[in-house]
Amino acid sequence: MSDNKIIVDDISKGFGELSVVDGVSFDVRDGEFVAIVGPSGCGKSTLLNIIAGFERADRGAVRIDGVERIGPSRNGIMISQQGSVFPWLTVHENLMFGLSGTSHGDKAGLAHRYIEMVGLAGFEAAYPHELSGGMLKRVEIARALVVRPEILYMDEPFSALDALMSLRMQTELRRILDEERHTVLLITHDVEEAIFLADRILVLSPRPTTISATFHVDLPHPRKLSDPKAQELREAILKKLGL
């Protein structure tokens, strides 16, 4: 039995005459964190949307646990740069909404646990407009994790935050992932973010995108980006990106 959670098999996608993704294949092991970096407009988000089931490929297939993906499913949750917190619900109500329709037993207890996990205890009754950008992102992460997804799809989730808050959120995410097992696919334009978080980094070419290089991040957590190995990896990735 393969330990691959996700198999992406020769995916291609175009929009009219514009070819965006051109024959992308890779696997993601169960519990692995894979980051995908590439130039702006190369098709990163399109590729992620196909893998998550929100778009259909023109050619190729995506298999999750060996079963071909034909649409979104509850075993994966998307966290995007736009955010998806409901402004008319409190922090606690946002998490309870995510749990509606699930078979989890003590939903209120579960919501409270994840609110605590992301450091928002005491803000359960707050509405989104009363929270900072970083706190809103914490709510979104808690709402994604509370349903116990097997796969997290993350599309530049921290790009709207300032550099310091982004680093804090990366550290927070890594801490949570050390406590809970999730398979993660992260789209990012931030090479240092990819090195800080991921087990493996895929570098995409300009559009129509293909995988131009794969880098394994053989550094223990917690990672320091000042580590010479991290800096060497950063230079190699930037060079592959033409920078």
Amino acid at 94: N
| Structure confidence at residue 168 (pLDDT) | 83
Q: Is 229 left (phi over 0), alpha (psi -120 to 50) or beta?
A: alpha
User: Which range (54-68, 92-106, 138-152, 224-238) has the least confidence?
Assistant: 92-106
pLDDT confidence tier of residue 108, bands split at 50, 70 and 90: confident
Q: H helices within 44-105, ranges in order?
A: 44-52, 91-99
| Greatest Cα-to-Cα distance within the chain, rounded to the nearest angstrom | 52
pLDDT digits (tens, 9 = 90+) for 8-47: 999 999 999 899 999 999 999 999 999 999 988 889 999 9
| CATH top-level class of 1-75+182-243 | alpha beta
Long-range pairs, 73-77, Cβ under 8 A, ≥24:
74/102, 74/147, 74/149, 75/149, 75/150, 75/151, 76/52, 76/149, 76/150, 76/151, 76/152, 76/153, 77/144, 77/145, 77/147, 77/149, 77/151, 77/152, 77/153
| Structure confidence at residue 102 (pLDDT) | 64
Share of the chain above pLDDT 90, in %: 53
* Average pLDDT across the chain, whole number: 89
| Structure confidence at residue 92 (pLDDT) | 92
- Domains of the chain: which residue ranges? 1-75+182-243
pLDDT confidence tier of residue 101, bands split at 50, 70 and 90: low
